[in-house]
Structure 1
């Protein structure tokens, strides 16, 4: 199907005049047939045309521009010949990794990601050694241009990936400046999920008679699969999963994680907590894979911890649940994952774990699948304990039917007589032998309770949204900062999205910003290195009492990102 909805002949990568060594790399990773966006985009880019592609994440657009660039780029030399701009460090790393995979047989091609949150030293070393392909976030690219450490005067290719997101995050000025410093002769590819007027103006100004391509992702999910999500911080995911496994009634389950090492680690932790779990990943030999799947099929194994690649082609009717322990970064992966359940007309269940900073990925999934996910709460201590007591009773009932019961009854009766102990005490002692003293969970602390010495800021929960905490940053009115600059800098350095921001109150020499109250240590460490208007923000907990912090609607040019209206994001963020 082409961009206009017409049927197209099925083509293979081998039909697209791709450089043989790139084609070999595609074969190595198992690619045979291009996706619609790839089939429509690769030919015009190979022919030197500019391209505007309207495509959602998950349609395969990275390969759509990476393959022709690698097929045409000249190896050697120190100056970059291709620059890819991406709105977030996660996407920049993802794109750079894809380029590296497709360039596996091109030894002269070096790929370098440059983004906020990574030290300049690593990036400066890479630029000095020479990189033909640079993948970067706009703010960090501008920083290198200002320092004179990045020379884009000889670019042959420029890609704007997720251009609408870049403009939404306040990078319009950065993107235009970067475009203005590139050669007029360059070839440009612009990819965007939507086509707002700002993107149209950008394309009209900087692209030469571009070919316009529109492809929609095939992201339909089965109607017989119940889809739910649980909002939980990264640190509590294992405990949350444990509670879900104890409370949820399931036949067999696949738990998806992102990496091979995570499959082994999580499976081991689940086994230590008494669950029948086995890891399956790309390093598992075929014979072992077949034994594992057979165990899952015949009921001797209940839980499989897998990566996307390892689960391909897996079809076991007994799988009643799919858990996305790590949320996928694209909607296609989500659809493929949950398609492992609800087979052969049976009903299925899909559960997605979402941390506060990953809610933008949840929204992308709901938007692309046009099917909202239902939020559930963490199973309570009472729920878990009730299940443990019920299962304890079931095990007693089952063992009462054992043929060995008479022998053990005589042993217990003899012990009771010789030691003057009640049968109930003996039964309790035997139960304790197989179950430690922590058989029942202790109650959760009351909501809002804190341990002494907890210096986290007070929480504010937006109705139907996350719990926020107030942080203080050392830039304010006198630095001429805007809400857009604050959002752009913090979002890119901390891997956050616009939905992760609450009230922003800009004061004379500092600002107050509401962010999710469970920011991890790694995120805060990255944010402490952030600069806005070349000033270190020195982010930290706001220690002032509420009356000193002021309301969200007072003091400067603050905006409310938590309400229905978002302020226009202006200025330049730092990434």
Structure 2
């Protein structure tokens, strides 16, 4: 279809850098008379490793043409590209937002790098991520977690799944069809947590995202504003949580200046908070299960078992609860004393 369309002639050709180069090499795309060239999401293309492809395409086109380069940010690589391939370019910049939205509650957690996964796990335990707000409502609030690299998205999503959370990764390596399936799963409630890079989350608009976690602090303040803009839209409230290691306090100060107000410090949820939430969810599960059509069937079976084995119904209920957790410890163990944790964190 592409070949036949190009052979008939086209006023406008839209394509990815790799696909455009493919047609240039096959001589199926003639750009010798090109008059206009648009590079959309230029910073994203360079971040995804298309710098050489973009320069190859620009080099193959006529020297004099109208070029429009669109970019959400202007890193040095973009400015260098413009300097080499654009003649007397006009720089048009929209006024950047200097403050973050007031509908998003912003908090930060002081945490060591190796403690991030446990901190995130505890946050997921105590915050209502994925929980329905009322009986019969749609899927509850979702969370997007930002990391710096494509590899980190996969690794963190795997760790979260191994801990029982419904998580998926989204990064520049995903083909468009796979990205669309992942976003659709987030919208429907099939998954509650999306681990993403800045580039992969560009343009993401999902109403149910109520939490944004900056697992890795962004490299600049503008990226922070874009990240937390994934929540708190259309007047809805949202939550933004920023993980800050000791060496990143300076960036925290810069982010606070952009936010226009101090960001509230919070602690990692305690063992007591996590265990209280676990007990509360356990009680809710019991209450909802009593309304199941199968309740009376199982009640009869339990009653029969208790009579035959001369045990109480309470003991049978406890045994069934143990079956539900696969012998894993239900409650977190108390944190070790602070002095002991400090010693354990030191390298040998």
Instruction: Return the TM-score normalized by structure 2.
Output: 0.71
| 4+ residue runs over 4 A deviation | 11-14, 68-72, 214-217
Pick aligned residue for 2:205 from 312, 315, 320: 315
Report the equivalent of 1:352.
242
Could you tell me how far apart the structure 2 residues matched to 1:244 and 1:25 are?
47
Pick aligned residue for 1:243 from 105, 109, 122: 122
Pick aligned residue for 1:63 from 49, 53, 77: 77
Which whole-Å deviations, capped at 9, do the CAs of 1:331-374 have from their partners, x for residues lacking one? 11111111010111101110011111111221221223333211
Report the equivalent of 1:290.
180
Does the alignment pair 1:416 with 2:306?
yes
Does the alignment pair 1:33 with 2:69?
yes
CA apart distance, 1:69: 7.0
Instruction: Return the TM-score normalized by structure 1.
Output: 0.44
Report the equivalent of 1:443.
334
CA apart distance, 1:407: 1.5
Q: Structure 1: which 5+ residue stretches go unaligned?
A: 1-10, 36-57, 73-213, 457-517, 522-540, 542-575
Report the equivalent of 2:273.
383
> Are the aligned partners of 1:219 and 1:331 in contact in 2 as well (CA < 8 Å)?
no
Does the alignment pair 1:281 with 2:314?
no
CA apart distance, 1:285: 2.2
> Are the aligned partners of 1:257 and 1:326 in contact in 2 as well (CA < 8 Å)?
yes
Could you tell me how far apart the structure 2 residues matched to 1:322 and 1:60 are?
24
Does the alignment pair 1:224 with 2:103?
yes
Which whole-Å deviations, capped at 9, do the CAs of 1:241-275 have from their partners, x for residues lacking one? 00000111231111111111111111111111111
CA apart distance, 1:440: 0.4
Could you tell me how far apart the structure 2 residues matched to 1:420 and 1:348 are?
53
CA apart distance, 1:442: 1.0
CA apart distance, 1:62: 1.5
CA apart distance, 1:392: 0.4
What is the correspondence of 1:80-95 to structure 2 with a 5 Å cutoff?
none
Relative to structure 1, the CA distance from residue 285 to residue 13 in structure 2 (aligned partners, 3 Å threshold; closer, same or farther) is: closer
Could you tell me how far apart the structure 2 residues matched to 1:218 and 1:62 are?
21
Relative to structure 1, the CA distance from residue 322 to residue 367 in structure 2 (aligned partners, 3 Å threshold; closer, same or farther) is: same
Aligned partner of residue 294 in structure 1, secondary structure: helix
Which whole-Å deviations, capped at 9, do the CAs of 1:464-521 have from their partners, x for residues lacking one? xxxxxxxxxxxxxxxxxxxxxxxxxxxxxxxxxxxxxxxxxxxxxxxxxxxxxx7x86
> Are the aligned partners of 2:170 and 2:195 in contact in 1 as well (CA < 8 Å)?
yes
Relative to structure 1, the CA distance from residue 268 to residue 355 in structure 2 (aligned partners, 3 Å threshold; closer, same or farther) is: same
- More helix, by proportion: 2
Report the equivalent of 1:272.
162
Does the alignment pair 1:256 with 2:135?
no
Aligned partner of residue 234 in structure 2, secondary structure: helix
CA apart distance, 1:13: 7.3
- What count of residue pairs does the alignment treat as equivalent? 276
Which whole-Å deviations, capped at 9, do the CAs of 1:172-199 have from their partners, x for residues lacking one? xxxxxxxxxxxxxxxxxxxxxxxxxxxx
Which whole-Å deviations, capped at 9, do the CAs of 1:415-458 have from their partners, x for residues lacking one? 1111111111111111111113411011112333458xx4x8xx
Report the equivalent of 1:484.
none
What is the correspondence of 1:367-516 to structure 2 with a 5 Å cutoff?
367-435=257-325, 436-449=327-340, 454=343
> Are the aligned partners of 2:161 and 2:167 in contact in 1 as well (CA < 8 Å)?
yes
Could you tell me how far apart the structure 1 residues matched to 2:54 and 2:271 are?
57
Report the equivalent of 2:16.
none
Which whole-Å deviations, capped at 9, do the CAs of 1:130-164 have from their partners, x for residues lacking one? xxxxxxxxxxxxxxxxxxxxxxxxxxxxxxxxxxx
What is the correspondence of 1:523-542 to structure 2 with a 5 Å cutoff?
none
Aligned partner of residue 340 in structure 1, secondary structure: coil
Could you tell me how far apart the structure 1 residues matched to 2:210 and 2:57 are?
39
Pick aligned residue for 2:55 from 5, 17, 22: 22
> Are the aligned partners of 2:58 and 2:85 in contact in 1 as well (CA < 8 Å)?
no
Could you tell me how far apart the structure 1 residues matched to 2:54 and 2:269 are?
52
Bigger radius of gyration: 1
Report the equivalent of 1:337.
227
Relative to structure 1, the CA distance from residue 353 to residue 421 in structure 2 (aligned partners, 3 Å threshold; closer, same or farther) is: same
CA apart distance, 1:235: 0.6
Could you tell me how far apart the structure 2 residues matched to 1:268 and 1:277 are?
8
Aligned partner of residue 343 in structure 1, secondary structure: coil
Aligned partner of residue 410 in structure 1, secondary structure: helix
Could you tell me how far apart the structure 2 residues matched to 1:20 and 1:272 are?
38
What is the correspondence of 1:60-209 to structure 2 with a 5 Å cutoff?
60-63=74-77, 66-67=80-81
Report the equivalent of 1:303.
193
